[in-house]
């Protein structure tokens, strides 16, 4: 399984270097009491603009209070993906302009996005997320809040933020804790792209179906008796038999457990991978080992160290605290870290040669790591201070 993820041209987490002509929008319609929210920015793989985040939040709040709505479906427009993340290029330009003008308005995007994600986690009605095709970064933040997370054979699921000098955010420091710690560290540090079957195996999806099956979900919703839609919601999205295809990640789990153990620092992970490569491993493992090693040597050294610590901390804190921690890390990464250089190298100039500061894992000092993890705000003045515990009424995963 290839550990590396190649950023295409669509947004923050594997998305567009070319600024789309429009910010996109969120379409909404209702089918038999189920609200369908469609991310409509297909030219940018449905990457989230600030406008789309705000529109989603407005829809979610309205449907929370509407007794005629029994469930919500999150859906992506076009054939390529659900949502490839946030609009990185827009954030990059906003951050650069803000630095020159002393304006940190770019931070509001993250505040609003994290509030939206938390609201989805707290939503009292079932949510279905159709993670068909590319589902990365901010798309994962939406999908992981759903009661029923559906992947397909076309799914490409990842949290590839470290490549652009960022940290897996949108709650990832918490939601990746559904996996064994070694697997969570591997996914977060390398940005490994998971198939739909991999996502089910890792606990990041509930079922993997054929993408063609999903094309008829509105007709199946319409056919359900109006008074039974909530109880039979799963029937519209999951076929009676949905055998799980092979999960490629199964073949490298042993390597992940060995080389991404929680007791290892990132430097030690890289050394472990290198030592195994020198020992002449089987051919089927060599490519994976080399890819994982190249990733740890090629991505932002600072953010790899910070990400490891954030993932370990995220397993011990609440979801609300995870969002608060991530906002602090994100703010420092943009203001004084490697984010702007990572975006410049991969999405703006596209020279693929980021000049990280510092340039190697060994040069990153512990105090630097601690600085990124230290909140820029006193607790009472944190922009997300009012995020509380999830309500007990939260809809659980839909039963099989």
**Angle in degrees, 0-180, between the axes of helices 366-373 and 301-314, rounded to the nearest 10:** 60
> Can you tell me the distance from the alpha carbon of 219 to that of 200, in angstroms, rounded to the nearest whole number?
26
Residue from 117, 132, 161, 206 carrying the catalytic annotation? 161
Residue from 33, 81, 86, 139 carrying the catalytic annotation? 86
Residue from 24, 76, 81, 138 carrying the catalytic annotation? 138
DSSP 247-274: -GGGGGHHHHHHHT-TTS-HHHHHHHHH
> Can you tell me the distance from the alpha carbon of 323 to that of 126, in angstroms, rounded to the nearest whole number?
22
Q: Apex CA 115: angle with CA 111 and CA 118, to 5°? A: 140
373-377 own/partner pairs: CB under 8 Å, 24+ apart: 373/306, 373/309, 373/310, 373/313, 373/325, 373/328, 373/329, 374/328, 375/324, 375/325, 375/328, 376/328, 376/331, 376/332, 377/328
**Cα–Cα distance list, 32 to 218, 227, 400 (Å):** 9, 9, 21
> Can you tell me the distance from the alpha carbon of 264 to that of 267, in angstroms, rounded to the nearest whole number?
8
Q: Is 86 a catalytic residue?
A: yes
Token pair 């060994």 is found at: 362
Q: Is 169 a catalytic residue?
A: yes
Q: Is 386 a catalytic residue?
A: no
Give the up-direction half-sphere exposure of residue 327: CA atoms within 13 A in the CB hemisphere.
26
Give the up-direction half-sphere exposure of residue 213: CA atoms within 13 A in the CB hemisphere.
19
Q: Is 212 a catalytic residue?
A: no
Residues with catalytic function? 86, 138, 161, 169
């Amino acid at each position: 399984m290839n550990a590396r993820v190649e950023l295409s041209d669509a947004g923050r987490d594997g998305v567009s270097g070319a600024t789309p002509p429009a910010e996109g929008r969120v379409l909404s319609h209702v089918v038999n009491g189920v609200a369908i929210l469609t991310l409509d920015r297909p030219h940018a793989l449905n990457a989230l603009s600030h406008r789309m985040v705000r529109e989603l939040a407005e829809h979610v709040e309205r449907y929370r209070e509407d007794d005629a709505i029994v469930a919500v479906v999150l859906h992506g427009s076009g054939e390529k993906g659900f949502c490839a993340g946030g609009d990185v290029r827009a954030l990059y330009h906003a951050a650069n302009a803000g630095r020159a003008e002393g304006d940190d308005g770019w931070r509001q995007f993250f505040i609003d996005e994290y509030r939206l994600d938390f609201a989805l986690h707290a939503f009292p009605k079932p949510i279905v997320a159709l993670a068909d095709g590319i589902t990365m970064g901010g798309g994962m933040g939406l999908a992981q809040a759903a009661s029923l997370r559906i992947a397909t054979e076309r799914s490409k699921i990842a949290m590839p933020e470290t490549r652009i000098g960022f940290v897996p955010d949108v709650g990832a420091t918490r939601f990746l804790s559904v996996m064994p710690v070694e697997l969570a560290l591997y996914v977060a540090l390398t940005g490994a792209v998971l198939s739909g079957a991999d996502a089910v195996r890792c606990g990041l999806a509930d079922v993997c179906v054929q993408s063609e099956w999903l094309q008829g979900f509105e007709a199946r919703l319409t056919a359900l008796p109006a008074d039974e839609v909530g109880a039979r919601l799963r029937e519209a999205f999951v076929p009676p038999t949905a055998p799980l295809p092979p999960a490629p990640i199964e073949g490298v789990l042993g390597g992940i457990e060995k080389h991404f153990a929680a007791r290892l620092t990132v430097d030690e992970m890289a050394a472990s991978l290198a030592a195994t490569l020198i020992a002449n491993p089987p051919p089927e493992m060599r490519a994976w080992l080399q890819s994982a090693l190249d990733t740890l040597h090629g991505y932002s050294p600072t953010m790899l160290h910070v990400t490891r610590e954030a993932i370990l901390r995220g397993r011990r804190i609440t979801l609300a605290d995870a969002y608060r921690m991530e906002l602090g890390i994100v703010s420092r990464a943009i203001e004084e870290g490697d984010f702007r250089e990572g975006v410049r190298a991969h999405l703006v100039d596209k020279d693929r040669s980021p000049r990280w500061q510092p340039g190697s894992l060994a040069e990153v000092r512990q105090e630097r790591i601690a600085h990124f993890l230290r909140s820029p705000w006193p607790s009472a003045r944190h922009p997300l201070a009012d995020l509380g515990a999830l309500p007990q009424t939260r809809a659980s995963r839909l039963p099989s």
